[in-house]
Amino acid sequence: MLLYVGLDVSQEETEICVVDGDGRRVWRGKCPSRPEAIAETLKRHAPDAARVGMETGPLAIWLWHGLRALGTPIECLHARQVAAALSLQVNKTGANDAYGIAQVVRSGWYRAVAVKSLQSCRVRAVLAARRQLVMVRTGLYNQIRGLLKTFGVVLGAGTGGTFERAVHAQCPDDPMVRDAIGALLAAWKIAGERKAELERQLVKFAREQDVCRRLATVPGVGAITSVTFVTAIDDPTRFRRSSDVGAYLGLTPKRYQSGEVDLAGRISKSGDRMTRSLLFEAANALITRVRGDSALRRWGERLAARIGSRKAKTAVARKLATILHRMWLDGTEFVTAPAC
- Residue 108 per-residue DSSP state: T
Percentages helix, strand, coil for the chain (3-state, rounded to 5) are: 60, 15, 30
Q: What is the pLDDT of residues 115-134, one digit of tens each?
A: 999 999 999 999 999 999 99
Residues 6+ apart with CB under 8 A from 53: 4, 5, 6, 7, 74, 75, 76, 77, 101, 102, 104, 105, 110
Q: What is the pLDDT of residues 237-295, one digit of tens each?
A: 999 999 999 999 999 999 888 888 888 889 999 889 999 999 999 999 999 998 888 89
**Cα distances (Å, whole numbers) of residue 231 to 101, 123, 194:** 29, 7, 22
Please work out, in degrees rounded to the nearest 5, the angle formed at the alpha carbon of residue 131 by the alpha carbons of 129 and 133. Answer: 70
The phi and psi torsions of 259 (rounded to 5 degrees) equal 60, -125
Residues 6+ apart with CB under 8 A from 173: none
Question: 5: burial class by Cβ within 10 Å (0-12, 13-18, 19+)?
Answer: buried
Looking at the chain, how many residues does it have? 340
* 178 alpha carbon, distance to own chain's centre: 39
- Model confidence at 52: pLDDT above 90: yes
Residues 6+ apart with CB under 8 A from 284: 220, 313
Per-residue confidence (pLDDT) for residue 244, from 0 to 100: 96
- Model confidence at 338: pLDDT above 60: no
3-class secondary-structure state, position 109 = coil
Per-residue confidence (pLDDT) for residue 179, from 0 to 100: 96
- Model confidence at 340: pLDDT above 50: no
Instruction: Find the mean pLDDT for residues 7-27.
Output: 96
Rounded distance between C-alpha atoms, residue 54 and residue 57, angstroms: 9
Q: What is the pLDDT of residues 134-158, one digit of tens each?
A: 999 999 999 999 999 999 999 988 7
Q: Order across the sheet with 74-77: list the strands.
A: 25-32, 13-20, 3-9, 49-55, 74-77
Pairing of strands 13-20, 25-32: antiparallel
Per-residue confidence (pLDDT) for residue 337, from 0 to 100: 57
* Contact status, residue 281 vs residue 290, Cβ threshold 8 Å: no
Please work out, in degrees rounded to the nearest 5, the angle formed at the alpha carbon of residue 52 by the alpha carbons of 49 and 58. Answer: 155
Q: Taking all residues of the chain, what is their mean pLDDT, rounded to a whole number? A: 94
Instruction: Find the mean pLDDT for residues 331-336.
Output: 87
Beta bridge partners of 76: 54
Query: What percent of the chain shows pLDDT beyond 70?
Result: 99
CB atoms within 10 A of CB 197: 13
Q: What is the pLDDT of residues 92-109, one digit of tens each?
A: 999 999 999 999 999 998
